[in-house]
């Protein structure tokens, strides 16, 4: 298997809507075979618009895009047949059973019946839905429906799977199970292109990622690269009673190069959290709680945009 093969090649890609809005404003990125590639950004950053162009369901307004070597404008149908697409909203048929959803989708792709049934059995297992196979989809929880949507997208053994916010709207337990299934796909060597605004998940799953803001790419790299480039090694998170926070934050200014004050906490960016905590105490500041943690992609996003990603 060629691992350097480029499956998605976007150059100066633009999406303009009728309103005149440039939702995607000249972005360049490549997704290689076998990698998990993340597109991160806040709501409205242009992630879904990008994904719809790659999925060949929304025309490209400018620049060039090649997906599996094809031009979405010219070869859209052929490219779509080799993609697995998991849209933001679950689109499974709630009147059918879990199994029927998979079988019918296989038919839609014109697969041979023997292949459809074999693949359906495998995918029910993959999605942890074997026990629910003959239940109507309307009875399933949100997490189960999402897993079924993913299983369905895999029926035709796609060369690349596109997932738009796969875990949004799920409770933590359902999110965890879904994320674990995505890890499995990655281990199986499936190429993944996904959007998310959960930085912790992206950090663990994605080999490389781009961060989008206002339709542009503001940073690109591996999670470790981005953290090394845009944050310190550790962060000291302090919480104070509301009435004391401002005074405390005032006393802490200048203690490290960067001190960020939020409504609920003060963050000190530092190479060594324990040493910084000792310095906090030396300034006669006593937080309610103090946590030393390593920097995350969330800190990277904050550095780059001045905003937190998940409110």
Ligand X SMILES: Nc1ncnc2c1ncn2[C@@H]1O[C@H](COP(=O)(O)OP(=O)(O)OP(=O)(O)O)[C@@H](O)[C@H]1O
Q: At its nearest, how many Å lie between ligand X and the CB of residue 196?
A: 9
Binding mask 9-28 for ligand X (x = CB under 6 A): --------x-x-x-x-----
* Selected binder of ligand X within 34, 36, 49, 295 (CB under 6 A): 49
Location of structure tokens 């620049």: 63
Q: Residue 140: which of 85, 95, 84 has the closest Cα?
A: 95
Nearer to ligand X (CB atom), residue 45 or residue 277: 45
Q: Which stretch binds ligand X (CB under 6 A): 37-45, 67-75, 127-135, 269-277?
A: 37-45
> Could you count the other beta carbons within 10 Å of the beta carbon of residue 251?
13
Q: At its nearest, how many Å lie between ligand X and the CB of residue 42?
A: 7
Tokens, residue 196:
């998310």
Phi, psi of 294 (to 5 degrees): -80, 160
Q: At its nearest, how many Å lie between ligand X and the CB of residue 82?
A: 23
Q: At its nearest, how many Å lie between ligand X and the CB of residue 19?
A: 5
Q: At its nearest, how many Å lie between ligand X and the CB of residue 185?
A: 22
| 217-223: long-range pairs with CB below 8 Å, 24+ | 217/27, 217/28, 217/29, 218/304, 218/305, 219/300, 219/304, 220/29, 223/297
Tokens, residue 34:
């076998």
Q: How many CA atoms lie within 13 A of 42 on its CB side?
A: 14
Interacting positions 110-139 with ligand X (CB under 6 A): none
Size of the site for ligand X (CB under 6 A): 12
Nearer to ligand X (CB atom), residue 3 or residue 19: 19
Q: Which stretch binds ligand X (CB under 6 A): 40-48, 71-79, 143-151, 169-177?
A: 40-48
Tokens, residue 284:
């006669």
Task: Give yes or no for residue 45 binding ligand X (CB under 6 A).
Answer: yes
Q: Which stretch binds ligand X (CB under 6 A): 41-49, 226-234, 238-246, 303-311?
A: 41-49
Backbone φ/ψ region at 69: left (φ over 0), alpha (ψ -120 to 50), beta: left
Q: Determine the Cα–Cα distance for residues 140 and 274; give it in Å rounded to an integer.
A: 47
Task: Give yes or no for residue 214 binding ligand X (CB under 6 A).
Answer: no
Phi, psi of 106 (to 5 degrees): -60, -40
Nearer to ligand X (CB atom), residue 17 or residue 183: 17
Task: Give yes or no for residue 89 binding ligand X (CB under 6 A).
Answer: no
Q: Which residues of the chain form contacts with ligand X (CB under 6 A)?
A: 17, 19, 21, 23, 41, 43-49
């Amino acid at each position: 298997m060629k691992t350097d093969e480029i499956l998605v090649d976007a150059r100066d890609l633009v999406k303009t809507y009728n309103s005149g809005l440039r939702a995607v404003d000249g972005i360049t990125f490549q997704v290689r075979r076998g990698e998990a590639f993340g597109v991160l950004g806040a709501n409205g950053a242009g992630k879904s618009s990008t994904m719809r162009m790659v999925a060949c369901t929304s025309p490209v307004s400018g620049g060039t895009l090649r997906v599996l070597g094809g031009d979405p404008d010219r070869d859209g149908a052929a490219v779509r047949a080799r993609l697995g697409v998991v849209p933001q909203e679950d689109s499974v048929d709630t009147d059918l059973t879990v199994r029927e959803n998979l079988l019918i989708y296989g038919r839609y792709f014109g697969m041979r019946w023997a292949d459809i049934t074999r693949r359906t059995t495998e995918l029910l297992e993959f999605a942890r839905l074997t026990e629910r196979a003959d239940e109507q989809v309307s009875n399933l929880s949100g997490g189960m429906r999402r897993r079924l949507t993913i299983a369905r997208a895999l029926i035709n053994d796609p060369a690349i799977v596109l997932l738009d916010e796969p875990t949004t709207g799920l409770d933590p337990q359902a999110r965890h199970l879904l994320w674990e299934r995505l890890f499995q796909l990655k281990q199986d060597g499936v190429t993944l292109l996904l959007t998310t605004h959960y930085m912790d998940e992206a950090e663990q799953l994605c080999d490389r990622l781009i961060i989008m803001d206002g339709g542009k790419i503001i940073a690109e790299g591996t999670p470790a690269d981005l953290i090394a480039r845009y944050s310190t090694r550790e962060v000291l998170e302090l919480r104070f009673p509301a009435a004391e926070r401002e005074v405390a934050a005032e006393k802490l200014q200048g203690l490290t190069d960067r001190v960020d004050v939020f409504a609920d906490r003060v963050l000190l960016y530092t190479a060594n959290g324990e040493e910084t905590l000792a310095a906090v105490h030396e300034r006669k500041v006593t937080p309610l709680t103090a946590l030393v943690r390593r920097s995350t992609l969330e800190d990277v996003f904050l550095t780059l945009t001045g905003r937190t990603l998940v409110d």
